[in-house]
């Protein structure tokens, strides 16, 4: 097995793991996504209101730290 193939498998695995696997978790709450413009672009991407509200709650908890 060549080292290029091993590197490809490692990169592909990392990419798939970073996707979350659940397919509905939404974006991560961080300072960029919770800023005014970031939040305006992120909120419409949520599939349901519960996920949307959970994201807003996480952003509010980040702001309180």
Tens of pLDDT along 37-62?
A: 888 888 888 888 988 899 999 999 98
Distance CA 48, CA 29 (A): 16
Residues 6+ apart with CB under 8 A from 24: 47, 51
CB 29 within 8 Å of CB 53: no
Quick: pLDDT tens for 7-32.
878 877 776 666 554 555 567 888 88
**pTM for the full predicted model:** 0.57
């Amino acid at each position: 097995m060549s080292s290029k193939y091993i590197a490809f498998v490692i990169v592909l695995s990392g990419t798939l793991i970073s996707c979350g696997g659940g397919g509905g978790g939404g974006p991560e709450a961080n300072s960029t996504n919770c800023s005014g413009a970031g939040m305006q672009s992120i909120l419409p991407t949520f599939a349901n209101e519960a996920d949307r509200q959970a994201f807003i709650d996480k952003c509010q908890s980040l702001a309180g730290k």
